[in-house]
Amino acid sequence: MQITTSAAPWWQHSVCYEIYVRSFADGNGDGVGDLVGIEQRLPYLADLGVDSVWLTPFYPSPQHDHGYDVADYRDVDPLFGTLADFDAMLATAHDLGIRVIVDVVPNHTSSEHPWFHEALAAAPGSPARDRYVFRDGTGRNGERPPNNWVSVFGGPAWTRVPDGQWYLHLFDSQQPDLNWWNDEVHAELDDVLRFWLDRGVDGFRVDVAHGLYKQPDLVPRKRGDRLPHPMWDQPEVHEVYRRWRKLLDSYDGDRMAVAEACAGTPEAMARYIRPDELQQTFNFTWLEAPWSAAAFRKVVVDTFASVGLVGGTPTWVLSNHDVVRESTRYGGGPAGVARAKAAALTMLALPGSSYLYQGEELGLEQVDVPPHLRQDPAYHRGAEPEGRDGCRVPMPWSGDTAPYGFGTGEPWLPMPDDWAGLTVEAQQADEHSTLQFFRRALRLRREVTVGLPDQVQLLDSAPGTFAFRRGDLVCVVSCGSRTARLPDVAGELLLASGDGVADGRIAPDTAAWFRAR
Ligand code: NOJ
């Protein structure tokens, strides 16, 4: 184990790399990424300079939502390997100094989970049904759903079963919501955490962390309703995270959890990271912001205001497997990639933990997956007009044609014909590639940000730019349309995301780090 414990917990200022397991590396040639594939590519991630990886769900699942529909929380889906493959991958990661966090999906199970099978076989009002949210319908014969809640993926949040009752699913109908008012559900999920902690994982990413509890009277939603919402962010959820925090703390090695909590306000977001709750919560404000210096400034100010309420440290996220890739969001093409690099360099200068999504380091853009090949249930239920498949296309590793070294089989989603220049192999051979830029940025981050203060000082800067100082590190990002003057305090240039930093000026679509004068 190369991992050592220092005074600050490892996760506080880490760079965590999200691995979308089915799209990272295919070790067995079936066209789907797997744990063996991940293990083989871990040296690449060590060389890139990430501190930790987050693995999306690899548990047995019918894969209706690509693993976010778990049928067995304590095993590995044969599609992705075995528990022995998991243990081997974890050991290799730790040998390379990389921590591993895994996804836990507590809001819902798969409809193929044994509990749901039991619930369907049992009578209304039975203990087996009480693990989920079953209700009688409304209307004369109960033919209408119990209320008007809609699924995040589109359509009603209720599905009827043959005996006439309805069950709640805030996502797909194959993802029935668990009933967190039931103690058995608590005991089960606590035990699931223990199972993976005992295997040695360093932490968890908690899916739909603001879900879990629904107000028991299931009040209907009114048009234009604002928070508080009867199905999200209920106060009781924090008791779960207090207990999980104690559980995490009962293990050695700074085990942690990061919440995917889409809470409506900065105050609500901060509640998930109170000192006795989870260590981190994803901060999605940057991911939602346009390419704009003013917007970036607001993200940074608001984030510090939010985490400051509870004395927490921030997280920063530009991309993940649920959203359009940032190079495309920022306009696409060479300018989009340049902007994505600039945004990443800005994020990496900030205190706290940065989350990268696989392929971000290659400057991948969103892929236009043909509609008939799209697999995302949110596309098929109508909530996502394009679907989320376009950011989930497998990683290009090497070679000139698909599947670009992803594996030997036909990849589960088609890979674009023009990715030869974007492969890891091609970019490793090119000093000016996006990959080499990320490598340099992560290395420099390790060198120059150690010991820097956890606060930043915003600097006055030219129109169209955003600049801040953290100790003696100065970061400037230029989102304007013309070359802009750098702040006087920007001294020696340490790293720039593009060529245009010279003579005291910075070009558009560029960010740079400087040593303060
Ligand atoms: C959030 C996950 O990131 C997303 O991929 C999934 O569809 C939903 N939660 C439901 O589990």
Predicted local confidence at residue 225, as pLDDT:
67
Pocket perturbation via mutation, ligand 1, pick of 21, 171, 287 by most ligand atoms within 8 A of CB = 171
Instruction: In whole angstroms, give the CA distance from residue 424 to residue 212.
Output: 39
Residue 152: closest CA among 115, 107, 117, 112: 107
34 and 97, same domain (yes or no): yes
Helix (H/G/I), strand (E/B), else coil: 52: strand
- 18 catalytic per annotation: no
Q: What is the CA radius of gyration of the chain?
A: 23
Same domain? 351 vs 494: no
For residue 355, give the nearest of 399, 318, 386 by alpha carbon.
318
Q: Is the CB of 322 under 6 A from ligand 1?
A: yes
* Closest C-alpha to ligand 1, atom 2: 207
Same domain, 165 and 120: yes
Between the two ends of the chain, the Cα-to-Cα distance in Å is: 40
**Same domain flag for 37 and 79:** yes
Find where tokens 């985490």 sit: 307
Q: What is the DSSP string of 268-304?
A: HHHHTTSTTS-SEE--TTTTTS-S-HHHHHHHHHHHH
Q: What is the CATH number of the domain that holds 140?
A: 3.90.400.10
Where residue 221 sits, what CATH number does that domain have? Answer: 3.20.20.80
What is the distance between the alpha carbons of residues 9 and 158, in angstroms, rounded to a whole number?
A: 42
Residue 1 lies inside a defined structural domain of this protein: no
Measured at the CA of 193, the angle between CA 189 and CA 195, to 5 degrees, comes to: 110
CA of 63 from ligand 1 middle (Å) equals: 12
Q: Which helix (H) or strand (E) holds 512?
A: strand 510-516
Q: What atom of ligand 1 comes closest to residue 108's alpha carbon?
A: 11
| Separation CA 193–CA 178 (nearest Å) | 16
The Å distance, Cα 260 to ligand 1 centre, comes to: 9
Rounded to whole angstroms, how far apart are CA atoms 164 and 247?
40
Q: What is the DSSP letter of 56?
A: P
Of 65, 202, 260, 326, which residue is the catalytic one?
Answer: 260
Residue-wise pLDDT for 12-69, tens only, equals 999 999 999 999 999 999 999 999 999 999 999 999 999 999 999 999 999 999 999 9
Same domain, 170 and 189: no
Sort 75 into a burial class: Cβ within 10 Å, 0-12 / 13-18 / 19+.
middle
**264: Cβ contacts below 8 Å, ≥ 6 apart:** 226, 227, 229, 232, 233
Identify which of 478, 338, 322, 282 has the alpha carbon closest to the alpha carbon of residue 330. Answer: 338
Among 105, 204, 207, 262, which is best to mutate for testing ligand 1, by the most ligand atoms less than 8 A from CB? 207
Q: What is the DSSP letter of 146?
A: S
CA of 489 to the centre of ligand 1 (A): 43
Centroid of ligand 1 to alpha carbon of 65 (angstroms): 8
Q: Is the minimum distance from the CB of 208 to ligand 1 under 6 angstroms? A: yes
Residue type, 320: N
Assess whether the C-beta atom of 383 lies below 6 angstroms from ligand 1: no
Residue after which a domain boundary falls, among 437, 468, 484? 437
The one catalytic residue in 51, 85, 202, 207 is: 207
* pLDDT tens, N- to C-terminus, the chain (517 residues): 344 345 789 999 999 999 999 999 999 999 999 999 999 999 999 999 999 999 999 999 999 999 999 999 999 999 999 999 999 999 999 999 999 999 999 999 999 999 999 999 999 999 999 999 999 999 999 999 999 999 999 999 999 999 999 999 999 999 999 999 999 999 999 999 999 999 999 999 999 999 999 998 887 777 776 656 889 999 999 999 999 999 999 999 999 999 999 988 889 999 999 999 999 999 999 999 999 999 999 999 999 999 999 999 999 999 999 999 999 999 999 999 999 999 999 999 999 999 999 999 999 999 999 999 999 999 999 998 889 999 999 999 999 999 999 999 999 999 999 999 999 999 999 999 999 999 999 999 999 998 999 999 999 999 999 999 999 999 999 999 999 999 999 999 999 999 999 999 999 999 999 999 9
323 contact partners, CB below 8 Å, separation of at least 6: 287, 329, 388, 391
**Residue 100 sits in the same domain as residue 247:** yes
Q: Evaluate: CB of 103 within 6 angstroms of ligand 1.
A: no
Asked whether residue 235 falls in the same domain as residue 297, the answer is yes
CA-based torsion, 403, 408, 411, 414: positive or negative: positive
Q: Are 169 and 157 in contact (CB under 8 A)?
A: yes
Domain count for the chain: 3
Exposure of 450 in the CB half-sphere (CA atoms within 13 A): 8
Residue with tokens 């060479």: 334
The Cα–Cα gap between 46 and 96 comes to 6
Give pLDDT, residue 6.
52
Q: Is residue 232 located within the same domain as residue 313?
A: yes
Q: State the distance from the centre of ligand 1 to the C-alpha of 105, rounded, in angstroms.
A: 9
Atom of ligand 1 nearest to the CA of 68: 11
Is residue 2 included in any domain, yes or no?
A: no
pLDDT for the residue 4: 39
Name the domain boundary from 151, 177, 203: 177
User: pLDDT tens-digit profile of 104-161?
Assistant: 999 999 999 999 999 999 999 999 999 999 999 999 999 999 999 999 999 999 999 9
Residue 365, pLDDT score: 98
Rounded Cα distance between 460 and 208, Å, is 38
358 and 287 share a domain? Answer: yes
Q: Which residue has the tokens 């928070």?
A: 227
Whether 331 maps to a domain, the answer reads yes
Q: Note whether 69 and 118 are within 8 A (CB).
A: no
- Per-residue pLDDT at 1: 37
Cα 486 to ligand 1 centroid, rounded to whole Å: 41
Residues 395 and 492 in one domain: no
- What residue numbers bound the domain in which 166 lies? 108-177
Q: Is the CB of 171 under 6 A from ligand 1?
A: yes
Shortest-distance atom of ligand 1 to CA 377: 7
pLDDT of residue 5: 41
In this structure, the answer to whether residues 20 and 131 fall within a common structural domain is no
Indicate if 207 belongs to the active site.
yes
Predicted local confidence at residue 7, as pLDDT: 74
Residue 258 phi, psi dihedral angles, 5° rounding = -115, 130
